[in-house]
Structure 1
Amino acid sequence: MDLDKFIANVDNMIINPLIGFLFALAIAFFLYGVLEFFMNQENEEKKTTGKSHMIWGVVGITIMLGVWTILSIVLNTLGISKSEINPEEGTVNLSE
C-alpha cells in the first residue's frame, strides 16, 4: 500500500468518523449542561456547572462550524469541489 492510499484510508476510516463523533459529543455536552441547569434550579453550584457545560459546548460547536466554513470558503474560492479531489491519486483537478 502506498502513502496516498494509506492517507485516504486514514481520512475515510478514522478522521471523518472522529469529526462526526466530536461534533455529536459537543452537542451532547451542551444538552447535558441545559439539563443540569434546569434540573437544579435551587442549587447555585450545579446551575453554575450547567452554565459552564453549555458555554463549552457552544464553544466546541462554534469552532467546528468555523473550521468547516473556512474550509468551504477556501475550496469555493479556489474553485475546487469535493469530486475534483482524489486523495488516492494525490491529485486536485482544477476547473478551467
Structure 2
Amino acid sequence: MIAIASAKTIDELIVTIQQSILDPITNLLLVLGGVVFLYGVVEFIAGASAGQTSSSGSISYATRARGKKHIVWGLFGLLIMVSVKAIIAILQNFFT
C-alpha cells in the first residue's frame, strides 16, 4: 500500500487532499479571476479616457471592447470559483 500524506482513514485522506491540493488551486484561480476583472476595469477606463482626448475613436473603442470582455470573463471566472468553493464546503459538511 502507498501511504498518502500519512492519512490513516478515508476522512483524513479527503481532508489532506482538500487542504494540500484543492484549496491552493481554487485560491489561485480565484485570485486570477480577480486580476483579470481588475485588468478589464483599468483597460475599460483607459479606453474611455483615450476616447475623450483622441480624435480616432476606433482605437479607444477597441480598447473599451477588450476591457468589457475582460470584465465579463473575470466575473464569470469569479462566479465559477466561488461556486466551486461553496460546493466543496457543502460536500464537506455533508460527509462530516
Q: What TM-score do the two structures reach when normalised by structure 1?
A: 0.65
Deviations 1:18-58 (A, max 9, x none): 22111111101000000000011111111000000000000
Q: 2:88 aligns with which of 71, 78, 82?
A: 71
Residue 50 (str. 1) matches residue 67 (str. 2): yes
Question: After superposition, what is the alpha-carbon deviation per residue over 1:46-95, rounded to whole angstroms, capped at 9, x for unaligned?
Answer: 1000000000000000001111122223333x262xxxxxxxxxxxxxxx
The alignment yields a C-alpha RMSD, in angstroms, of 2.4
Structure with greater strand share of residues:
1
Q: Does the residue aligned with 1:2 lie in a helix, a strand or coil?
A: coil
Residues 1:65 and 1:16: Cα distance change in structure 2 (over 3 Å): same
Identity of aligned residues (%): 29
- Give the aligned length: 78
Q: Which runs of 5+ in 1 are unaligned?
A: 81-96
Structure having the higher helix fraction is 2
Question: Are 1:2 and 2:19 matched, yes or no?
Answer: no
